[in-house]
Amino acid sequence: MKRRSFIKSTSLVGAATLLPASALAARRLVEQDLGGVVNTGPVVLSTWDFGRAVPEAAIKTLHLGGSLIDAVENAVKIPESDPQVTSVGYGGYPDREGRVTLDACIMDGNGNCGSVVFLEHIMHPVSVARLVMEKTEHVMLAGEGALQFALKHGFRKRQLLTEQAAAAFKEWLKTSRNKKAGVDKTNHDTIGLLAMDGKGNMAGACTTSGMAWKIRGRVGDSPLIGAGLYVDNDVGAATATGLGEAVIKVAGSFLIVELMRNGKSPQAACRLALERILHKQPHYAERNDFLAGFIALRRDGEVGACSYRKGLQYTLFKDSAIRVVDAEFIAT
Ligand code: SD4
């Protein structure tokens, strides 16, 4: 485990919210269930280790008075535009026709959400997902329609296939084109990021180029609200990484939030979601390349993470420090 310290401490002052009596009663109930503890400082956690710039971007955004949605968007835009990251945004590995197609979503703790799937040529799909949330009546736009929407809102078309990704594609065509596409330790690294202010308000974002060498048109869990990401201010939030098909089959992130609502810790909830996958679909355990994992955040600031195989790390900003933490795992 790598440990890094983060010097700047931050505090957030949010506006008081006026809630109807029923919502206040429900919130009190949740607070009682959590032992009356409501977290006191911002918390940011994200799948894998994309460097300290990612949580720093979220925290700086909050510190400068930005919203939680601004914070999660700014943070995940970093790997989206990094050509060295081969499973998110620019530089992502393509599908089996050599085309880079992106999936992303964003959600706040009050049920507002937006998503884009099978989007090509746009460097920051998370920003398009945010616009879907904010400017339309819809939750999800796909493919050509999502691209037209992005262009109409001022996004520029970009070549997302880097020389490095094109070379990897060529190599894959030579050596492995007849193999099934899969997510394993060589091609994972979707970023799912969860953030909370000092008052238990949350938001999350998830963005990916998906499974490398996928069938054209394939969409994974990452842009699906409830599968790749779910956020509920009353309880907590969760996000996923790994084989999207497995995560979709159990509505993984929603399942974790509901397990926390029913009293499970974030850690237990992540583990139970993986156990649910394996219970319903035991064949995954026989696949050497099977990798799936979750991270979760409860509104009192407690976090949890679990993956099927050893190797999932998550980056955590909590108590004014950034750490990269090894997740619990089920099989080696
Ligand atoms: C997908 N869940 O498209 C994504 C891939 C991934 O870490 O998470 N990789 O299935």
pLDDT in tens, 76-119: 999 999 999 999 999 999 999 999 999 999 999 999 999 999 99
What span, in angstroms and rounded, lies between the C-alpha atoms of 222 and 233?
Answer: 20
CB of 95 closer than 6 angstroms to any ligand 1 atom: no
Per-run averaged pLDDT (10 residues), the chain, 332 residues: 30 35 48 50 96 97 96 98 96 97 98 98 98 98 98 98 97 81 64 93 98 96 98 98 97 98 98 98 92 96 96 95 97 80
For 37-329, which CATH superfamily applies? (Glycosyl)asparaginase (3.60.20.30)
Beta strands 303-309 and 328-331: pairing type?
Answer: parallel
What span, in angstroms and rounded, lies between the C-alpha atoms of 81 and 271?
Answer: 32
Dmax over CA atoms of the chain, in Å, equals 64
Q: How many CA atoms lie less than 13 Å away from 91 in the CB half-sphere?
A: 15
DSSP 27: H
The pLDDT value recorded for residue 9 is: 30
CB of 236 closer than 6 angstroms to any ligand 1 atom: no
* Distance between Cα 180 and ligand 1 center (Å): 15
The crossing angle, in degrees rounded to 10, of helices 143-152 and 125-135 is 80
CB of 219 closer than 6 angstroms to any ligand 1 atom: no
Residues 240, 103 contacting (CB under 8 angstroms) = no
Give the nearest ligand 1 atom to 189 CA. Answer: 7
Instruction: Tokens 């995560």: give the residue.
Output: 247
Name the CA radius of gyration of the chain, rounded: 19
Residues 4, 322 contacting (CB under 8 angstroms) = yes
The best mutation among 190, 219, 284 to test binding of ligand 1, ranked by most ligand atoms within 8 Å of the C-beta, falls on: 190
* Distance between Cα 15 and ligand 1 center (Å): 36
Q: For the whole prediction, is pTM greater than 0.85?
A: yes
pLDDT in tens, 155-188: 999 999 999 999 999 999 998 776 766 655 556 6
Residues 243, 162 contacting (CB under 8 angstroms) = no
The pLDDT value recorded for residue 27 is: 47
263: left (phi over 0), alpha (psi -120 to 50) or beta: left
User: What stretch of H or E contains 284?
Assistant: none
What span, in angstroms and rounded, lies between the C-alpha atoms of 141 and 118?
Answer: 9
Whose C-alpha lies nearest to ligand 1, atom 9?
Answer: 188
CB of 241 closer than 6 angstroms to any ligand 1 atom: yes
CB of 293 closer than 6 angstroms to any ligand 1 atom: no
Give the nearest ligand 1 atom to 103 CA. Answer: 3
Mean pLDDT, the chain, as a whole number? 89
Q: Give 181-235 as a DSSP string.
A: P---TTT---EEEEEE-TTS-EEEEEEE--STTPPTT---STTSBTTTEEEETTT
* Distance between Cα 40 and ligand 1 center (Å): 32
What span, in angstroms and rounded, lies between the C-alpha atoms of 50 and 208?
Answer: 13
Catalytic residue IDs: 190
* Two structure tokens written together for 87: 């499973």
CB of 222 closer than 6 angstroms to any ligand 1 atom: yes
Over pLDDT 90: what percentage of the chain?
81
Whose C-alpha lies nearest to ligand 1, atom 7?
Answer: 188
Amino acid at 234: D
The pLDDT value recorded for residue 21 is: 54
CB of 214 closer than 6 angstroms to any ligand 1 atom: no
Q: How many CA atoms lie less than 13 Å away from 204 in the CB half-sphere?
A: 35
Residue 286: Cβ within 10 Å count? 7
The best mutation among 185, 211, 218, 308 to test binding of ligand 1, ranked by most ligand atoms within 8 Å of the C-beta, falls on: 211
Residue 283: Cβ within 10 Å count? 8
